[in-house]
Amino acid sequence: MANFTLNVNGRRQVVDVDPATPLLYVLRNDLELHGPRFGCGLGQCGACTVLIRGEAVRSCTRAVSSVQGAEITTLEGLSTDGRLHPIQQAWIDEQVPQCGFCQNGQMLTAKALLDKNPSPSDAEIRQGMAGALCRCMTYYRIQAAVKRAAKVMSTAGGADSPAPGDGEKEVLA
């Protein structure tokens, strides 16, 4: 065991763990940040995604010793001053989740994608999100939410998001 200083969601945190401990368990069990979740432990599904220096990273395969001092953001750190990030608001407006377990990884992958490419094409969204799995298969709505968030973030600094229910496809025959 050894002390490691982490910078998570803008706060400095010291933890005493084995150097090889995957960041995921430190976040969940020591810092009680439950946004990132265990999905595979193999870096394959994305449920454990966090942002490290703005990059979407699989925290289940990243040793805590390798991220000392790096700026780490979890789902809990996505909103600011209690105000939802436009990506989160788009997720609500599109009513994206089914069970919702993977959506942490979906939203943070989208955040990293949109930070790099503020107005991605449909193909770029599909490709950029491809590593984030959802077993409720909410992909169609996730992609719609990414587009919605991109639109909001590129206008007026992300001030107002479209009202819920916009762009509905339901038809009552």
Partner 1 sequence: MTTSRRDFIRNTGLLVVSLRAMSLAEADPLAAAQAGPSTSLGAGPYPDPDFRQLDSWIVIRENNTATFYVGKTDLGQGTGTAFRQLMADELDMAYENTSCVMGHTDQTVDQGGSGGSDALQTDGWPMRRVAAEARRVLLDMGSQRLGVPVDQLAVSAGVITSRAEPSRRVTYGELIGGRRFNVTLTGDQIDATTGVAKVKPVQELKLAGQSFPRYDIPGKVDGSAKWAVDARVPGMVHARNVKPPFAGAKLVSIDEASVRNIPGFIKVVSRGNYIAVVCEREEHAIQAARQLKVNWQRPATAPFPSSENLYRYMRTATPTFSPPPTVAGNVDTAITGAAKVVEAEYEVPFQGHVSIGPAHAMADPSNDQLTIYSNDMKSYGLRNGVAQFLKIPRDRVRVVWLEGPQAYGRTAADDAGFEAAFIAKEIGRPVRVQWMRQEETAWDTKGPAYTFRMRGGVDGQGNLAAFDYEARAVDHNHLGYNEFDTVLIAQLAGMRKQEPARGGAATPSDMYVIPNRRMATHVVSLPLVWETPLRTGNLRDPNGPQVTFASESFIDELAAAAKADPVEFRLRMLTASTGDDNGFKRARSIAVVKAAAEKYGWDTRPSPKPIGNGNILVGRGIAYAYRNQTIVAQIAEVEVNRRTGHVWVKRLVVAHDCGLVINPQALTRTVEGASLHSLSRALHEEVTFDTEKVTSVDWTSYPSLRHTDTPQTIDVVLVNGDPNPKRPDLPHYGAGETACKPLLAAVGNAIFDATGVRLRRVPFRDARVLAALKAARV
Site residues, partner 1 (CB under 8 A): 1, 17-18, 21-22, 25, 28-29, 32-35, 37-42, 44-45, 47, 74-76, 78-79, 84, 88, 91-92, 95-104, 107, 122, 125-127, 129-130, 132-143, 164-165, 168-173
How far is residue 25's CA from residue 59's CA, in Å, rounded to a whole number?
9
CA-CA distances (angstroms) from residue 110 to 9, 24, 25, 76, 101? 18, 19, 23, 15, 16
Chain position carrying tokens 């990293």: 112
Could you tell me the smallest distance in angstroms from the CB atom of residue 161 to partner 1? Answer: 13
Task: Report the residue number, 71 or 76, with the smaller CB distance to partner 1.
Answer: 76
Could you tell me the smallest distance in angstroms from the CB atom of residue 159 to partner 1? Answer: 19
Could you please report the per-residue DSSP string of 23-67?
Answer: HHHIIIIIS---SS--S-SSSSS-TTEEEETTEEEETTSSBGGGG
Burial of 151 (0-12, 13-18, 19+ CB in 10 A): middle
Task: Report the residue number, 28 or 148, with the smaller CB distance to partner 1.
Answer: 28
Could you tell me the smallest distance in angstroms from the CB atom of residue 124 to partner 1? Answer: 11
Task: Report the residue number, 70 or 136, with the smaller CB distance to partner 1.
Answer: 136
Could you tell me the smallest distance in angstroms from the CB atom of residue 154 to partner 1? Answer: 21
